[in-house]
């Protein structure tokens, strides 16, 4: 998202429209697929298209590690 946001001629709504997005109720497996295919962070939006946050590769890896009973520190 940052490279898109650094284009000063774009406003926030334009950046979100260009970004890879998932809805807040997207299951983790689908979020993983989106991140894997996008190779960049994914914006989370609500049903009205409002920005809620960002899921990064590192956050997703830590979440998956915690679900497997790890300590939250994913190995690379």
pLDDT digits (tens, 9 = 90+) for 11-43: 666 666 667 889 999 988 888 888 887 767 888
Q: Is residue 19 part of a domain?
A: yes
**What is the distance between the alpha carbons of residues 15 and 75, in angstroms, rounded to a whole number?**
31
More confident: 9 or 69: 69
Report if residue 13 sits inside a domain: yes
Supply the pLDDT for residue 24: 92
The CA–CA distances, whole Å, from 60 to 10, 15, 48 equal 28, 22, 24
Dist CA 16 CA 28 (whole Å)? 20
- Residue 28 within a domain: yes
Owning domain of residue 62: 2-67
Question: Which CATH number is 13's domain given?
Answer: 3.10.580.10
Look at residue 52 and tell me whether its pLDDT is greater than 80: yes
Whether 52 is covered by a domain: the verdict is yes
Would you state the pLDDT for residue 4?
A: 52
**Is 14 among the domain residues?**
yes
Q: How many structural domains does the chain have? A: 1
- Indicate the angle between helix axes 57-67 and 28-38, nearest 10 degrees: 150
CB 65 within 8 A of CB 56: no
Residue 76 forms part of a structural domain: no
């Amino acid at each position: 998202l940052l490279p898109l946001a650094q284009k000063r001629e774009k406003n926030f709504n334009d950046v979100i429209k260009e970004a890879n997005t998932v809805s807040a109720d997207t299951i983790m497996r689908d979020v993983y697929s989106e991140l894997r295919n996008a190779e960049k962070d994914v914006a989370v939006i609500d049903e009205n298209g409002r920005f809620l946050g960002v899921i990064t590769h590192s956050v997703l890896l830590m979440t998956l590690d915690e679900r497997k009973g790890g300590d939250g520190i994913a190995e690379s």
